[in-house]
A = this chain, B = another copy of it.
Amino acid sequence: MSLLIKNIQTLFQMEEGPGPHRRVLKGAAMAELPALNNAWVLCEEEKIAGFGTMESCPDRAERVMDARGKLVLPAWCDSHTHLVFAAAREGEFVDRIKGLSYEEIAARGGGILNSAQRLRDTPEGELLESAWLRLGEIMDSGTGAVEIKSGYGLDTDSELKMLRVAARLSEISPVSIRTTFLGAHALPRQYWNDRSKYIDLICNEMIPRVAAEGLAQYVDVFCDRGFFTVDETDRILETGGRYGLKPKIHANELDYSGGIQVGVKHNAVSVDHLECTGPDEIAALLGSETMPTLLPSTAFFLRLHYPPARAMIDAGLPVALASDYNPGSSPSGRMAFVLSLACIQMNMTPEEAVNAATLNGARAMELEQELGSICVGKTANLLITKPAPSLAYLPYAFGTDPVQSVILRGKLR
């Protein structure tokens, strides 16, 4: 199957020539977004086969789409979600409106533990069905690659059940899916007086099982005030490492928790959230290979301070953007709105936001060789916008979903 998109007003994030190509965009390079006006792009089978300006447009293809007045970008690479869950938690949303904090709700067994209880009670087939609907929703809004975490199981069987659902989604959808074991998402109630027993369970039983069944590429820990300590995180990441699971961790959402530093120490693929990031945390990240990943939907929904994206980029760091789609702190997987938040609330430019949600997002899932830019040989994951006067219009028009069509693995969805 060949698919030609022609008369594109502007094609973004292309990479010319045989490479080697950009693998990560840091600091000032985050403002550089390649753009080609009046362009075409050709998909053959699942791959990008070529692109250029209309003077060199191929004269035939099995399928042709006209994108006059529209922009074409790589599909979003959403590197942090909790897409598999049993039920929405809008009741706790109302509790927060009425004055309880996210941490207070967690402390009385709500929050993640509420999701865990409901997930354990939900059969695997039902979980798959609801996650499939959510995956369809994010595909429609332009996402072509997504990371999915466990962490609502919190016992061995339930954690494995979540990861099997994610694996099944990967088999039945065109989305590139990466999976992360997050047994250390919250401490189950029966371990509240014996924390180390749960860490033992994670290290001695869960991680070996996850690794043996090949159900995850990454290991994650919610390293923050009220959740897991730096020492506990250290032990879990060390164990994960021995089983071939690389770290991608929740850090510094609620406090200056040391989470960033312990992530860097273990050469984490990414450290995520980072609402509480100061000069020490930035210094720890500089020189590391770890991707700072920001989740502004969560800061928006929980009314946290937004992470200091501007300071990070100005210091020379890369930044990735992800949705954190989950029922407690970010009940939205719409990446276009994540870009709006990045620009409106964190003063990222539209170009920086696109780089953070495409190539750097791919990098945060170690998929930057296959995805995240429009490059001959990469997987043909593209989004076509509604008519738009400019790139900046996309995050500016924050109430409108700018995505009109989505192409995944060379096929129009």
Contacting pair B344 A300 (CB below 8 A)? yes
Please name all residues of chain B whose beta carbon is closer than 8 Å to the beta carbon of A400 when the two chains form the complex: 137, 332, 334
Contacting pair A347 B88 (CB below 8 A)? no
Please name all residues of chain B whose beta carbon is closer than 8 Å to the beta carbon of A98 when the two chains form the complex: 347, 349
Please name all residues of chain B whose beta carbon is closer than 8 Å to the beta carbon of A392 when the two chains form the complex: 90-91, 93-94
CB < 8 Å neighbour of A398 from B99, B332, B345: B332
Please name all residues of chain B whose beta carbon is closer than 8 Å to the beta carbon of A345 when the two chains form the complex: 303
Q: How far is the CA of A98 from the CA of B389 in the complex (A)?
A: 20
Q: Within the oligomer, what is the number of copies of this chain? A: 2
Asked if A97 lies at the interface with its beta carbon under 8 angstroms from chain B, I say: yes
Please name all residues of chain B whose beta carbon is closer than 8 Å to the beta carbon of A350 when the two chains form the complex: 94
The interface on chain A, measured as residues whose beta carbon lies within 8 A of the other chain's beta carbons, has a size of: 38
Contacting pair A97 B343 (CB below 8 A)? yes
CB distance from A347 to the nearest CB of B (A): 5
Asked if A107 lies at the interface with its beta carbon under 8 angstroms from chain B, I say: no
Query: A131-159, CB under 8 A of B: which get 1 and which 0?
Result: 00000010001000000000000000000
Please name all residues of chain B whose beta carbon is closer than 8 Å to the beta carbon of A183 when the two chains form the complex: none
For window 380-413 of A, CB contacts with B under 8 Å fall at: 389-390, 392-393, 395-401
Please name all residues of chain B whose beta carbon is closer than 8 Å to the beta carbon of A303 when the two chains form the complex: 344-345
Asked if A191 lies at the interface with its beta carbon under 8 angstroms from chain B, I say: no
Contacting pair B90 A399 (CB below 8 A)? no
CB < 8 Å neighbour of A399 from B97, B297, B347, B393: B297
Contacting pair A97 B349 (CB below 8 A)? yes
Asked if A86 lies at the interface with its beta carbon under 8 angstroms from chain B, I say: no
Contacting pair B396 A348 (CB below 8 A)? no
For window 72-100 of A, CB contacts with B under 8 Å fall at: 87-88, 90-91, 93-94, 97-99
Q: How far is the CA of A72 from the CA of B296 in the complex (A)?
A: 31
Contacting pair A333 B94 (CB below 8 A)? no
Q: Which of A90, A334, A343, A347 has the most CB of B within 10 A?
A: A90
Asked if A331 lies at the interface with its beta carbon under 8 angstroms from chain B, I say: yes
- The answer to whether residues A398 and B301 also contact, given A94-B392, A97-B343, A97-B347 and a CB cut-off of 8 A, is yes
Query: A165-186, CB under 8 A of B: which get 1 and which 0?
Result: 0000000000000000000000
Q: How far is the CA of A397 from the CA of B328 in the complex (A)?
A: 11
Q: How far is the CA of A185 from the CA of B396 in the complex (A)?
A: 22
Contacting pair A331 B396 (CB below 8 A)? yes
Q: How far is the CA of A98 from the CA of B88 in the complex (A)?
A: 37
Contacting pair B399 A333 (CB below 8 A)? yes
Contacting pair B397 A88 (CB below 8 A)? yes
Asked if A222 lies at the interface with its beta carbon under 8 angstroms from chain B, I say: no
Q: How far is the CA of A334 from the CA of B337 in the complex (A)?
A: 13
Contacting pair A331 B137 (CB below 8 A)? no
Please name all residues of chain B whose beta carbon is closer than 8 Å to the beta carbon of A349 when the two chains form the complex: 94, 97-98
Contacting pair B332 A397 (CB below 8 A)? yes
Chain A to chain B contacts (Cβ below 8 Å), 8 pairs: A88-B393, A88-B396, A90-B389, A90-B390, A98-B349, A331-B398, A332-B399, A334-B399
Q: A91-B392, A303-B345 are in contact. List 20 more A-B contacts (CB 8 A).
A: A88-B396, A90-B389, A90-B396, A90-B397, A93-B343, A93-B392, A94-B349, A94-B392, A98-B349, A99-B347, A297-B399, A300-B344, A303-B344, A331-B397, A332-B397, A333-B399, A334-B399, A334-B400, A337-B399, A401-B401
